[in-house]
Amino acid sequence: MHTPPYATARIAVSRLPGGETTDDVVAVEEPLELRINGRPVAVTMRTPGHDEELALGFCISEGLRPEGARLPDDLAANMVEVDAPGFDPDRLARSFYTSSSCGVCGKGALEAVAVEAPRVESDLRVTLETVSLLPGRLRDAQAAFELTGGLHATGLLSPGGNLLCLREDVGRHNAMDKVIGWAFRERRLPLAESILCVSGRLSFELVQKAAVAGCPVLVAVGARPRKRLHGAVADRPLTGVLLVGGGSTRFGSPKALALLGGETLAERGWRVLGEACDEVIAVGKAADALPLPFPLVDDGTNDRAPVYGVIAGLRAAAHDVAVFLPVDCPLVTPELLRGLGDAVAVPQTGPLPGAYGKDMLPDLETRLQGGELSLRGVNRAVLQVDACLLRDVDVYADLATMR
């Protein structure tokens, strides 16, 4: 899909380690002032482009009934005007700065969070096969994400899985608002015969927006919300553990710092776990002093074996189940990790990546005391997954085959 001209920018960056300077494409984030009937009511941080749709979708999600939106002649003004006859400014107590990451967080009271929505009336049924294809179709159409790796997306699809509209933004709720605004302009509301698909985890607000838009099916690639809304119920909370590792004799340097697609393997693993899990921690050896952009839990030993990382991760995890991802498995997807976590299982290829419960700690510690360093047999639950996604990076040449 087409990327708006101001959605990305090219800047000079310094990469670590080594401090090499190179050009990179990044996502743009700028403020947008929303005015209703000439009155300023909100400022949101967003990725420029499709601003009228964003404003319309925002208003609809707040329970308003807009008629149209327009930009000023001076586009640099970063403002959009919405026409909404009958708008009561006292009803929308939201004249505040709202970030791109969360549109609920600025609400001044609990009663301001909930928005009335009619019951979603639809006979739409979607097959599991269709659902499984949607995240891939969304990802294939994310032109700006392909350039930057830094944008969320929402897609509107037909019952058969055909992409009708896709919008990208630094804020996941902004991307949803843009799609809803597009649907309003195209006279497609309510979305009783459509599917919404988002690129990351679900949140309370995204489910609420889908409900207000009348959409019966909402698909996500990350964790489900714990908050119940219109029948949405979460599965078990999940901790994601990135096994960072250290130096590799065969690889020649720490794999965690190797670059793939503009990000290090460590950054990639952390991001993927974040899309799948409720909590993410990294385990490794503090003595390696790797320049990582996130905190590291030390595994407490000078020996190198994955079992030490699994034990340390389970001890540090806030939840009863943790899914472990070695840093050198860059093709693993959030869907695969969540599947392993929901099943508390390991793949058919071996113990990592895999999910382990805190109730397995005593067995792990007993095996370790007996000198057993292998994880095989600790978790006997096996989930059949796509083995192609489990390829690991062994030598530098492997990176070229994974781009």
- Per domain, the residue ranges of the chain are 30-112, 128-220, 239-400
Mean of the per-residue pLDDT values of the chain: 85
- CA 19 to mean position of chain CA atoms: 29
Catalytic one of 59, 102, 105, 277: 102
Angle between helices 172-185 and 204-212 (to 10 degrees): 10
Fold assignment, 239-400: Spore Coat Polysaccharide Biosynthesis Protein SpsA; Chain A (3.90.550)
Read off the pLDDT of each residue in 160-172 and give the average, rounded to a whole number: 93
State yes or no: pLDDT of 368 exceeds 70.
yes
Angle between helices 265-276 and 334-343 (to 10 degrees): 50
Alpha carbons within 13 A on the beta-carbon side of 180: 31
Look at the pTM and tell me if it is higher than 0.85.
Answer: no
Six-digit token string for 262:
């503009």
Q: Higher confidence at residue 402 or residue 143?
A: 143
Residue 246's pLDDT is 59
Residue 119's pLDDT is 80
User: What value, to the nearest 5°, has the Cα angle with vertex 379 and ends 202 and 233?
Assistant: 25
Fold assignment, 128-220: Cytidine Deaminase; domain 2 (3.40.140)
Which DSSP helix (H) or strand (E) runs through 260? strand 259-260
CB atoms within 10 A of CB 103: 26
Q: Is 59 a catalytic residue?
A: no
Residue 272's pLDDT is 94
Pair 71, 51: CB distance under 8 Å: yes
**pLDDT tens digits for range 72-89:** 877 667 899 999 988 877
Kindly indicate whether the domain formed by 30-112 is annotated with CATH number 3.40.50.720.
no
User: What value, to the nearest 5°, has the Cα angle with vertex 223 and ends 218 and 229?
Assistant: 55
